[in-house]
Structure 1
Amino acid sequence: MSLNTTASPGRRKKLLIGLSAFAVITMIVLGVFARNGWLPRTDAMTGKRTGWFGSEPPAVAGGSTQPESASIPPSATPQLSKEYIYAGSRLLAVEDANANAAPPADLAVWRPSSGVWWVMGPGGSVQASYGWGTGGDKPVQGDYDGDSKTDFAVYRPSTGTWWVTKSSDNTYYSVTLGNSTDEPVAADFDGDGKTDIAVWRSSDGTWYIVQSSTSTTIYPVYGSQGDTPAPADFDGDGKADLAVWRDSNHTFYSVNSSNSSYLQISYGATGDKPVIADYDGDGKADHAVWRSSNGNWYIRKSSNASSLQMQYGVSGDVPVQNDYDGDGKCDMAIWRPATSAVWYIYQSSNAQTRTEYWGTTDDIPVPVFYRR
């Protein structure tokens, strides 16, 4: 007896109709679930699982919070390079005056409670979530390997240890420099295109700088107790200059690395916050302050010594100036932790405000150059 496994044309037709109907119904149901937010998903900022399926994931979804054991994500291929300057320890971008603009800065936060870095991608997606650091650390992101891409890094005051990832080869290293009262002031002081590990000691005004070009440590003295360190490239030679902001007399003091000359600029008022960056796109850092009492920005352009004043932000905001639109000029920007961690960015390319929600109220905003 033979067994015929071939269905008749009539049966095949009924089967195809049934499968098609099932597929249509499935698509309709999934569409309804998606519109109402019933499909399972993980909130990038809170780590909470929502929807009708699955369980809530662990509180930390980006990797280990201990630098000693964290695995490093793959690096992207570098493209256009930027020159970097710093305001405090914040990484900023400076373009050569005649260069094409490089990709814009990415919105990112570091979460002290978990040590996770969250980097926003296109359309509010999660571009990267990576555990690096722990509570009590200070984020000190920079381009330590010179590949034009931000490397995640933290400074641990309790031990004076720097933990640095390297995006170029997916490795990490640690360096001991500093103590619990020193201020991290990482910047490219020797002009080799790499961030140098450095601290400033307020008790005696000493800078401890490990030059990446030679691996030697230098100990210049500049500033006094009560000053705020503010290294940046004021003379446009590609090297960060030693600089401080003295709040008591609202004055910037710096030493040009190109010729060792001194620069003294009185600007703003006592209580202002220094927000040094290249706002006019001439390749030099501009002296600038932000006044929290009224949200005013005061910017002295290095290109022509003219001043710009603009109200942007309110008391309680955190200034997060950077080049977010990729035009080679730093944009005024603030991060508002009081209202769902909102970023307000005044784009220099079109004078329009960009609004983004990224982070939680206890995060630390850390703009990065991740997409390289």
Structure 2
Amino acid sequence: MTRLRTVGAGTLLGALVLVGLPVGAWAQPVTDYQMPFPCGQEWKGTTRSGHSPSPRSIDWNRADDDGDPVVASAPGVVTTAEASSTKGYGHHVVLDHGDGESTVYAHLDEVHVVEGQHVDQASQLGTVGSTGNSTGPHLHYEQRLDRKDVEAWFDGAAFVYGSTQRSANCVDVPMAANMIGKPAAELVIYRRAKRSQFLVQRAGKAPKRMRLGTASDEPVLGDWDGNGKANLGVWTPDTGVFTLRVGKKSTSHVPLGSASDQPVAGDWDGDGLWEVGVRTPATGTWRLRGADGSLRSVVLGDAGDIPVTGDWDGDGRTDLGVFDPTTATFTLRREDGDGLVWTAQVQFGQPGDLPVAGDWDGNATTEVGVWTPATATFSERRAASATAARERTAARTFGRPR
């Protein structure tokens, strides 16, 4: 909702005082912005009177920051992903957050997203660099309203220009998998932090907590050892490497994909052992890795879709799917024993929800679901069955609301 707190003329920006602005010009944004860096990192943000396009822009720095991850301040759609310019902003990304609000991330070394792509809060957009009109590595950052710079806000407070602040961009990522060996899937949260955690919901008990990954890694779950229970995994965008853990100490590393890909996992051949894969948003191309290292390519979805996987037909093999967050529509793909490909569309949830998939009732068939960030509510779609003539929806709350 629109917030009423405003900042009047003559507000102090570090050592700089802006004058001549009308009182009440800087309203708190609708978007709940967080700093454009992974959870827990400390960065200093400065400006100057001649800062282009305005002194409300921020130049972020910390020691040895060249190549550090830059992440999304809030969920949004990529409207600009410029990865070759040598002028002005250089390599830069612009995100549209709705309500006329947007953010700019400039002078990047690498750009990891493409135009039209939907990105979640805290997802990596690229890396700090010094491209374009820049004299040294830093992140040039702007918050905009109707394409004009406005005063920056983070974590519900106006930013004090010239200060050093710690990033509270520490969101939960919703997941689901069979984590403890029971037929039905458990709800899982990947909590982004300097040392990230997977939290598994357990009936009547505190969540089970397991550490793996960092705040800028992307989580995956899969049965890497074929024992019927899902194991932990993360994929690091900067290196394109999966880190897969079995038990408490056994860890393997699988290189696959580039920084602009999206990680996925599944039992592609139905042998009980899960493998990894990646999807390239720009082309909708999935590359599924076999146990022997071979790759199979499938095309599904476009840049704005979010990948999901599951066994939609209960044949023991993981199928592919995508979720359009603007329409809350799943497109599910399956391939039958004769090699024929079938697709179906399922509308579930509301725009802005995040997709999940799991075997909610333990019948060996995966169903879709969504997680609503504002309430941390999982909504699970359960298909009609012999005991339930109509589709049902079950709702459970798990994780931290945003």
TM-score (norm. length: structure 2) = 0.47
Larger of the two Rg values belongs to structure = 1
Instruction: Choose between structure 1 and 2: higher helix proportion.
Output: 1
Higher relative CO (Cα under 8 Å, sequence separation at least 6) belongs to: 1
